[in-house]
Amino acid sequence: MSDPDAYIALISSLPGSERLFIAKQPPLSRLRLDRRLRVLTPADARVLEVMEHALNWNNYDMNVTDAQTIERCKEALRHIPQLTLRKLFMERMDLRTAVAALRLRKQGGAAPSGVYGIGRWSRLIPANWGDPAFRLETPMPWIKEAKHLLDVDDPLGLERLLLSVSHKQLKRYAARHLFDFEAVAIYVLIWNIFDRWAQSNARDAATRFEKLAQHAMASAIDLDFEGVSA
């Protein structure tokens, strides 16, 4: 069981920053962050490790298959008991599925049959393949801009957009958690966004989105969404 006082002290020691896309680096180094995370219980540390591993595309080898990508996500969900963290994990999967579909369609891919990718929209996307935004403008108001940035071959602009969307999602969840493990995990995921942008450039962004297209997650998936949908 976690020590509430230790987690309060941990959160209080973490510097905040709202200067995404302006700050040249995260508010503290990964080495210093990891040192402070040593107060996490082994169970909480494992959940955080699983989430970071599943959400970081740099951890996916170029030769990984669609089935392996999906299995990694399913395995991650099996090790994330916290409802808030499961919800934000699935929101990130929704985002990645939509962007992968945009990329696949831009490359001339035909509408997948049945289920596409991971998340709430895995059936809606194939059914609306001919619609510019897959009829997702309401739940994903950013998707038209993402399509435009893909169409004009602006990978860095697309990365900036998606990091901004992910950052806003995380900040929304952060408002509901102050001094618990969920707050710590959300802080680390936000730190990863700052770090990702600090390391971004147009060539690297293009490479990452090419990798995203290759990991289009076009296979069927059978996930238990009980307690996951927002």
Percent of the chain with pLDDT over 70: 77
Going by C-alpha positions, the residue among 75, 18, 49 that lies closest to residue 185 is 49
pLDDT per residue as tens digits for the range 121-177: 999 999 999 999 999 999 999 999 999 999 999 988 998 899 999 999 999 999 999
Residue 64, in any domain of the structure: yes
How confident is residue 228, by pLDDT bands cut at 50, 70 and 90? very low
End-to-end CA distance of the chain: 27
Q: Which carries the bigger pLDDT value, residue 62 or residue 187?
A: 187
Sign of the dihedral through C-alpha 195, 25, 48, 225: negative
Q: Which domain holds residue 119?
A: 4-11+26-214
Q: Are 103 and 208 in contact (CB under 8 A)?
A: no
pLDDT value at residue 177: 93
Residue 223, in any domain of the structure: no
How confident is residue 28, by pLDDT bands cut at 50, 70 and 90? confident
Three-point CA angle 31, 39, 199, nearest 5°: 25
Mean per-residue pLDDT for 83-93?
A: 93
How confident is residue 202, by pLDDT bands cut at 50, 70 and 90? low
Task: Please tell me the distance from the alpha carbon of residue 222 to that of residue 74, in angstroms, as a whole number.
Answer: 9
Residue 221, in any domain of the structure: no
pLDDT per residue as tens digits for the range 31-60: 999 999 999 999 999 999 999 988 876 655
Residue 20, in any domain of the structure: no
Residue 18, in any domain of the structure: no
How confident is residue 220, by pLDDT bands cut at 50, 70 and 90? very low
Residue 219, in any domain of the structure: no
Task: Please tell me the distance from the alpha carbon of residue 64 to that of residue 124, in angstroms, as a whole number.
Answer: 25
pLDDT surpasses 80 at 207: no
Residue 227, in any domain of the structure: no
Task: Please tell me the distance from the alpha carbon of residue 49 to that of residue 52, in angstroms, as a whole number.
Answer: 5
Residue 97, in any domain of the structure: yes
Number of domains in the chain: 1
